[in-house]
Structure 1
Amino acid sequence: MRESNLRSLSAAAVLAAALVAAPLASATTSTAGTGQETHQRTETIELVAKQTQSASLDLGSKGLSQGDENIIAEDLYRDGRKIGDHSVVCTYVHINPDELQCVGTFALPQGQVTSQALLHLPPAPAIDIAITGGSGAYRTARGYVHTVPAGQTERRLTFHITFDEPSAS
C-alpha cells in the first residue's frame, strides 16, 4: 500500500509554485482602503515541473505511520528551458485515509516563493495549492497554483498571483 501511495504522491506533490521574470499575463487595479491606497498587480504564469529526486522517510513506528515524510525535488521549466527548482516536504498527518501536509519552496531568478497544501490520497486529478508568501520580487505574493498531472513525474502549473503594493502618491 505504501508503494501505491508514493506513486500517487509523486503525481500529486509535484506541487508547483514557481514564478518567472516575465509574466504571461498581468493586470493592475487600484483599491482605496482605510486611508492608504494600495496597488494590486496580478500575474498568470505557466510552467512545467519535472521531478528529479524523491525519498520516503519511515520515522517513528515501523511502516506507514503519522510523521513519516516524503521529500521531492523538481526542476521548473518554461518553454523547454530550466528556470528554477522546487523542493517540497510532505508529512503524513493522518493514516487510512492518508492525508499529507506539504510545504514547498520554489527558487527562481528573482526570489523564492512558498506554498502549502493538505493532500488527500489518492489525490484529485487537479489540485489548487496556496501561495503563502515569498522573498525578493515575490515578497508580497499571494494566490494559488493550479496543478494538473502531465505524466507520472511531471505536472503543468498555472500560477494565479496577486501582489499588494503601496501606491506611489
Structure 2
Amino acid sequence: MRKIRPRSAGAAAGLAAALLIAAPTASAAWSATPSASDTGRRIHQHTEIIQLVARQTHSETLDAGKKGLGPGDEIIIAEDLYRDGKKIGDHSVVCTYVRTEPGELQCLGTFDLPQGQITSQALLHLPAAATVDIAITGGTGDYRSARGFVHTVPAGTHTVPAAVTERRLTFHILVDDQQED
C-alpha cells in the first residue's frame, strides 16, 4: 500500500484522532431505577463523567485502491491519553473513507485503560466541525456494558484545524452494575 498525503487528510486525521477516547472513573451518579432480569439479579445503572486530554503520537494515511484519495483509503491514528498530566492509557482509531466528494469517514476506535477497553465509532463529514460527539459502543472489564458518548474539543488555541493534535475529551458513560437480590 502507498502512503498518500491529501490536503484534507491532515484535518481529518486531527479530528478523527479525537473522535474516540476514554478512561477511568472521575465521578459517578447512581440511577434510581433498577431493572429486573430473568436470573434474579437487579441491574443498576450509573453514569461516569470522565475528562481527559488526548495527544496524537502517530498518524498515517494509506492508499488502498486506485492511486490517490478514494473510497477504502484509511487514516490510522495512535494517541496517548492523559489525566492531570499523567499518561493513563492509549487510543487507536482507523478511519475509512466512504466518499471523497463530499468527504465522509467511518471511524472505529479502541481505548486501552487500566479498568478495561472502550470501543466507539463515528461517521465524520468533512470538513469536520471543531466539536464532535462520538458514540460509545461497548467495552471490556469495568466497561463491558458501556454506552454513551464522548464530546471532543480542541485543546489550546489553534488557528489551523490540521495543527490540532491535542483535544479535551469529556466522556458520558452509562454502565450497568448487576447485584444479587
Aligned-residue CA RMSD in angstroms?
1.5
- 1:61 Cα deviation after fit: 1.1
> How is 1:10-89 mapped onto 2 (pairs within 5 angstroms)?
10-14=13-17, 15-20=19-24, 23-33=25-35, 37-89=42-94
Cα distance in structure 2, aligned partners of 1:19 and 1:126: 19
Aligned to 1:134: 139
What SS does structure 1 have at the residue aligned with 2:129? coil
* Structure 1 gap ranges (5+): none
Q: In structure 2, which of residues 116, 120, 134 is the aligned counterpart of residue 115 of structure 1?
A: 120
Q: In structure 2, which of residues 161, 164, 174 is the aligned counterpart of residue 162 of structure 1?
A: 174
Cα distance in structure 1, aligned partners of 2:178 and 2:154: 37
Cα distance in structure 2, aligned partners of 1:10 and 1:149: 13
Contact 2:133 2:150 in 1 (8 A): yes
When residues 65 and 48 of structure 1 are mapped into structure 2, their CA distance, relative to the original with a 3 A threshold, is same
User: Which range moves more in the overlay, 128-137 or 144-153?
Assistant: 144-153
CA distances 1:32-74 after superposition (whole Å, capped 9, x unpaired): 5466642011110000000000111011111011000000000
What SS does structure 1 have at the residue aligned with 2:10? helix
- 1:81 Cα deviation after fit: 0.4
Aligned to 1:4: 7
The number of aligned residues is 166
Cα distance in structure 1, aligned partners of 2:180 and 2:127: 47
User: Could you tell me the percent identity over the aligned residues?
Assistant: 60
